[in-house]
Amino acid sequence: MRTSAFVYPWDVVGDPAAADRIAALGVQQVTLAAAYHSTRALTPRHPKHRVVTAEYAAVLYPPDEQRWRGRELRPRPAGGWAADDAPDGRRDGHRDAYGAAARALAAAGLDVHTWVVLAHNSRLGAEHPATSVVNAFGDRYPWAPCIAQPAVRAYLVDLAAEAAVRPGAAGTELESLGWYGLAHLHAHDKIGGVPLDDAAQYLMSLCFCADCRAGYAELGAEPAELAAAVRSALAPVFAGGSAEAGTGVAAIEKLLGPDTTALTLAWRTATAASLQEEAVAAVRRAAAPGFQVLMHADPAPYRCGANAGVDAARILGRVDGFVLPCTGGPAVREAMLAPLAPHRREGTVLAANFTIVSGMGGSPGTLAADAAHAAELGATELRLYHAGLASDADLGAVRAALA
């Protein structure tokens, strides 16, 4: 199976051994971050640093000033964390960190695809609060731009086209191309005191900004009444500590009722799908023929987050395939891969994404068996998260598995 490892530019830039070390894992490809959210990352083998603090969501290449001139919503270039290969040893984030890393990886014989994070941006929410998702209680989620808002959609579509089609890239993987909601490790998170199951997470992720309220109204709902219904549905969750409704649309219906659930799903699914189509079309226009476009996805359309929920029957006609989270055992792999079997086309890529970092819940020692099971369920490729974050022992297990 064709295999790609996720990599940050700062894993490679300034470390002359990094590209060959990644190639020696036995992968054919790397998925290299071109646009990424804020993070704090360990770099356990880098000769110049051990921790990188990416202070805000940024592009890791110089953005096109002509494209973004005069626009209120625009990407920010990375700070000094992105690159440290300047001749005098200083870090200069305005250099093309992505480009420098991509060239080194290509020289090691690896195919390079871009990794583009879209609707996940805390700095955007901090600087432009009106762009954020607003829950039924009136709380804003500054990490989650609302994808129903025209200005946000225009920004995301142009960002997708620019960040995906970097020089030398043979394809892209688009992450967070859909709704983002409550579930997010935001700074020092303190939201685990009341367990929220699948259905409660959905209700806490519904947006009630002005654009979403207008969307609900167009479908026949009174937005204030809908928000009140969501609050009422969540009241026993916060009172008792668990909704105990289970998972899936049936669980949401148990809390909110079938008709109201159907209305919210209609709005959110259509909004996400149209954005996904627009963004993919923009990438296709910017790219050469044969450029591969994959989405990080979840086959349950109501889900939100890095692996955005998709209407597979609709979106597989636009993208070349999906990257699907498959860490966590056989049941997780079945939930991710089995629902897509009826919608596969000739050449569809279904990439099973496995965490290979033991400290982050991964199991690199079982990678061979896990990959074999994923292949039985229809997976055609593997993704390994994350070659830069993994320990030497974890990488040794990956080399053994891929051999």
Q: Does domain 2-192+271-402 have CATH number 2.20.28.10?
A: no
Question: Is-contact 382 350, C-beta < 8 A?
Answer: no
pLDDT of residue 190: 74
The residues of the chain scoring below 70 in pLDDT are 84-94, 185-187, 241-245
Alpha helices in 323-365 (DSSP H): 330-337
How distant, in Å, are the alpha carbons of 107, 165, 252, 316, 376 from that of 168? 11, 8, 44, 25, 33
pLDDT for residue 247:
84
Distances from the Cα of 331 to the Cα of 87, 319, 370, angstroms: 50, 26, 11
**pLDDT at residue 241, rounded to an integer:** 58
Spatial CB neighbours of 76, under 8 Å, sequence gap ≥ 6: 56, 57, 58, 59, 123
What is the value of pTM for the model shown? 0.96
**pLDDT (0 to 100) of residue 325:** 98
Q: Please report the pLDDT score of residue 81 as a whole number.
A: 87
Are 321 and 340 in contact, with CB atoms under 8 Å apart? no
Confidence (pLDDT) at 191: 75
Q: Could you state, in order of their start, the residue ranges of all structural domains in the chain?
A: 2-192+271-402
Residue 381, strand partner residues: 2, 351
Report pLDDT for 196: 87
Quick one: pLDDT at residue 94? 47
